[in-house]
């Protein structure tokens, strides 16, 4: 009997332990958050410590891993402005200026805690490599490292649930692991067309104590676009896509 138990235990020890494929998991998170090519309507709300709020409404289209444009449709003072992102490069078009100007990922076209990289978010797999992946009772934790120095955050730590394989929280960190901001993903909603994702993203930062920014998705759906949509010359014409 003892011999049988020892043989059984030795077999258990010999069984391989399968590591989580962090890269495949991150790709799944990307696709669960958004289709590869889509259009969306979002509201961005900046909330100051005294409760004062400023709201913006954006129409956004994305193609592939690294092409995105957004159009401001409210408030009236911002209407007609548009932003374009191609990989690490970003531009802002202001109708009265007439010529797109370069912007950076760490700037913010709306102010508040969200920066341009948050507003024009690419696929995580386009900007980050997975250094480590862990499985917990509730879900997964991914530790990401930026592929280049031009990425807004050197490191990301992503918590994702098992049920939907969607992020619930993301910590944005410096190379020395100092916390820059935290993103909270809330209120998973079925948008139709196989898209089921958080409808609300909130963020706060130890660098902006008392300030909070919120992003609310009002609609998102798969849609194909021509490459010419993602060019500097098309920026004044994004309204024609609506």
Q: What confidence category does residue 125 fall into, taking pLDDT thresholds of 50, 70 and 90?
A: very high
Residue 90: pLDDT over 70: yes
Q: Is 14's pLDDT higher than 70?
A: no
pLDDT in tens, 168-204: 999 999 999 999 999 999 999 999 999 999 999 999 9
- Contact between 181 and 156 (Cβ < 8 Å): no
Name the pLDDT band for 163 (thresholds 50, 70, 90).
very high
pLDDT score of 11 more than 90: no
Average pLDDT over residues 100-129: 93
Beta bridge partners of 58: 42, 72
SS3 38: strand
Element housing 182 (H / E): strand 179-192
Question: Stretch 130-135: mean pLDDT, rounded?
Answer: 95
Q: Which pLDDT belongs to residue 97?
A: 87
pLDDT tops 70 at residue 4: no
Q: What is the DSSP letter of 51?
A: S
Q: Range with the lowest mean pLDDT among 15-19, 21-25, 64-68, 194-198?
A: 15-19
Mean pLDDT for all residues in the chain: 91
Q: Residue 25: its pLDDT value, please?
A: 96
**What's the whole-number mean pLDDT along residues 104-122?**
92
The pair of three-digit structure tokens given for residue 105, joined into one six-digit string: 């990922």
What pLDDT score does 103 carry? 94
Dihedral over Cα of 193, 196, 199, 201: its sign: negative
Tell me the domains of the chain and their CATH numbers: 19-241 (2.50.20.10)
**Residue 1 pLDDT:** 59
Please give the average per-residue pLDDT across 88-94, as a whole number.
95
Say what the pTM is: 0.87
The answer, yes or no, to whether residue 18 has pLDDT greater than 80, is no
Instruction: Dump the DSSP string for 127-180.
Output: HEEEEEEEE-SSEEEEEEEESSTTSS-SEEEEEEETTT--EEEEEEE-TT--EE
């Amino acid at each position: 009997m003892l011999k049988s138990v020892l043989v059984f235990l030795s077999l258990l020890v010999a069984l391989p332990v399968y590591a989580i494929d962090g890269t495949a998991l991150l790709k799944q998170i990307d696709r669960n958050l958004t289709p590869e090519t889509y259009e969306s309507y979002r509201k961005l709300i900046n909330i100051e410590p005294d409760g004062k709020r400023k709201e913006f409404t954006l129409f956004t289209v994305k193609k592939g891993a690294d092409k995105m444009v957004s159009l401001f449709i409210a408030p009236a003072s911002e209407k007609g402005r548009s932003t374009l992102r191609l990989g690490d490069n970003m531009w802002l078009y202001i109708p009265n200026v007439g010529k797109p100007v370069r912007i950076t990922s760490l700037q913010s076209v709306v102010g508040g805690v969200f920066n341009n990289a948050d507003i024009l978010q690419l696929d995580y797999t386009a900007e980050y490599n997975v250094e480590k992946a862990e499985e917990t009772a509730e879900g997964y934790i991914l530790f990401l490292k930026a592929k280049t120095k031009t990425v807004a955050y050197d490191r990301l730590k992503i918590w994702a649930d098992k049920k939907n394989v969607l992020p619930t929280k993301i910590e944005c960190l410096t190379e020395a692991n100092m916390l820059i901001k935290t993103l909270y993903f809330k209120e998973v909603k079925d948008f139709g067309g196989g898209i089921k994702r958080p409808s609300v993203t909130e963020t706060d930062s130890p660098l902006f104590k008392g300030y909070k920014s919120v992003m609310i998705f009002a609609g998102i759906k798969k849609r194909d676009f021509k490459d010419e949509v993602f060019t500097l010359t098309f920026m004044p014409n994004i309204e024609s896509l609506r």
